[in-house]
Amino acid sequence: MLPSKGKKLDSEKLKFFNEEGYLKLNSVFTTTEVNRLKNELEIIWINSVKNGFAQVSNKKTLASLFPPMRNCHEESQSLRNFIFNTPIFSIMRDIFSKEALLAGSTCFYKVPGADELPLHQDNYDIGAFPGTTCAFWISLDEATTQNGCLKIVPRTHKQGLLRPNIPGHKSVYGQTVTIPKGFSSIALETSPGDVVLFSGDTLHGSFANQSKNKTRNSLVMHFVPSDIEKIFVQHRSLLNSKGEVEQRKLNKSHSIKRLFREKG
Ligand SMILES: O=C(O)CCC(=O)C(=O)O
């Protein structure tokens, strides 16, 4: 089944996204869909333990057993079926006003004791040009400030790429960015099945999981508009809404050092 071509976001929602750089959509997915997703991601995680990717660190933290799982859609046909048979691509088409390409997917298993994810901008790592990327973040659990919900700095998507504090300590993204003057962060609490869309230039991260026993898992997919010329990641394995592979040029000039050396 191909995703519906119909419009999924009304003009008010699009206006909010364009002005604020993010948009929360409640109950996009049903409990059954969320549970199916969780089961599938659990299988991928079990495989990553078996093949040694997920390992307990010397410090024996629980979080070390749950590293972010990159490009999990490449590991699972069911996950790909989910991505291509639900309104995900239609929503992204509304956001970009043109066709979208899937540039990656990551499962964040945020277990009790997991650190905060420092504020960052996704387009540093994705390096889409021209334009930027947009995240489609699915809440798989109840997410609160206590167990690690998203933190967003609204309107920063209009600031371009901000100078990171180098080196980006502890961040899985290798960058952390200080909130620019005049902006402030908000916490976005979500329920299972809710979706948060945010621009690749929107400053965001997530709180530490300080709960005793509440996991906070998410699946995030990163999309780019189909008319990008080049990209830093997955340039030979972008996927269109029919699941076909598309290629773009490698964005060779995209590296934090080079970007900020050029900007002075
Ligand atoms: O789910 C999270 O904790 C953070 C997600 C995120 O920062 C991202 O996808 O770039």
For the stretch 184-236, pLDDT in tens is: 999 999 999 999 999 999 999 999 999 999 999 999 999 999 999 999 999 99
* CATH code of the domain in which 99 resides: 2.60.120.620
Backbone angles phi, psi at 139, to 5 degrees: -80, 125
How far apart are the CA of 20 and the centre of ligand 1, in A?
18
The DSSP symbol for 233 reads S
pLDDT in tens, 166-176: 654 455 666 78
Residue 48 above 90 pLDDT? Answer: no
Is 74 a domain residue?
A: yes
How far apart are the CA of 239 and the centre of ligand 1, in A?
21
> Quick check: helix, strand or coil at residue 244?
coil
How far apart are the CA of 87 and the centre of ligand 1, in A?
21
Ligand 1 and 151: CB distance under 6 A: no
Predicted confidence at residue 125, as pLDDT, reads 86
Is 4 a domain residue?
A: no
Predicted confidence at residue 214, as pLDDT, reads 97
Parallel, antiparallel or unpaired: strands 230-231 and 249-250: parallel
How far apart are the CA of 205 and the centre of ligand 1, in A?
6
Q: 226 near 246, Cβ under 8 Å?
A: yes
Residue 2 above 70 pLDDT? Answer: no
pLDDT in tens, 68-107: 999 999 999 999 999 999 999 999 999 999 999 999 999 9
Is 46 a domain residue?
A: yes
Give the number of domains in the chain. 1
Residue 239 above 60 pLDDT? Answer: yes
Question: Among the atoms of ligand 1, which is closest to the Cα of residue 135?
Answer: 9
CA 258 from centroid of its chain's CA atoms:
24
Question: What domain range includes position 71?
Answer: 11-263
Report how far residue 76's alpha carbon sits from residue 48's, in angstroms, rounded to the nearest whole number.
13
Residue 1 above 50 pLDDT? Answer: no
DSSP H or E run through 41: helix 31-50
Question: Among the atoms of ligand 1, which is closest to the Cα of residue 206?
Answer: 3
How far apart are the CA of 83 and the centre of ligand 1, in A?
18
Instruction: Specify the higher pLDDT residue, 124 or 11.
Output: 11
Is 110 a domain residue?
A: yes
Q: Which of 15-24, 48-57, 185-194 has the lowest mean pLDDT?
A: 48-57
How far apart are the CA of 220 and the centre of ligand 1, in A?
7
Residue whose Cα lies nearest atom 3 of ligand 1: it is 206
Ligand 1 and 135: CB distance under 6 A: yes
User: 72 — alpha (psi -120 to 50), left (phi > 0) or beta?
Assistant: alpha
Ligand 1 and 218: CB distance under 6 A: yes
Ligand 1 and 216: CB distance under 6 A: no
Predicted confidence at residue 171, as pLDDT, reads 56
Ligand 1 and 221: CB distance under 6 A: no
Is 3 a domain residue?
A: no
Verify cis geometry, omega within 30 degrees of 0, for the bond prior to 130: yes
Ligand 1 and 206: CB distance under 6 A: yes
Is 5 a domain residue?
A: no
CA 214 from centroid of its chain's CA atoms:
21
Give residue 261's pLDDT band: very low, low, confident or very high (50, 70, 90): low
Predicted confidence at residue 175, as pLDDT, reads 77
The DSSP symbol for 180 reads P
- 174: Cβ–Cβ under 8 A, 6 or more apart, which residues? 125, 167, 168
Residue 60 above 80 pLDDT? Answer: no
How far apart are the CA of 43 and the centre of ligand 1, in A?
21
31-50 helix and 77-85 helix, angle to the nearest 10 degrees? 150
Is 1 a domain residue?
A: no
Distance of CA 91 to CAs 106, 116, 132, 199, Å? 19, 29, 16, 13
Choosing from 107, 149, 150, 152 the residue with most ligand 1 atoms within 8 A of its CB, the one to mutate for a pocket test is 150
Ligand 1 and 143: CB distance under 6 A: no
> What pTM value is reported for the model?
0.92
Output the average pLDDT for the chain: 90
> Quick check: helix, strand or coil at residue 96?
helix
Question: Among the atoms of ligand 1, which is closest to the Cα of residue 137?
Answer: 9
Alpha-carbon dihedral sign for residues 80, 142, 42, 247: positive
**Burial readout 104-130 (b: 16 or more C-beta within 10 A, e: otherwise):** bbbbbbbbbebbbbbbbbbbbbbbbbe
Predicted confidence at residue 264, as pLDDT, reads 44
Q: Report, as an integer, the average pLDDT of 24-43.
A: 96
Predicted confidence at residue 3, as pLDDT, reads 40
Report how far residue 3's alpha carbon sits from residue 119's, in angstroms, rounded to the nearest whole number.
33
Is 51 a domain residue?
A: yes
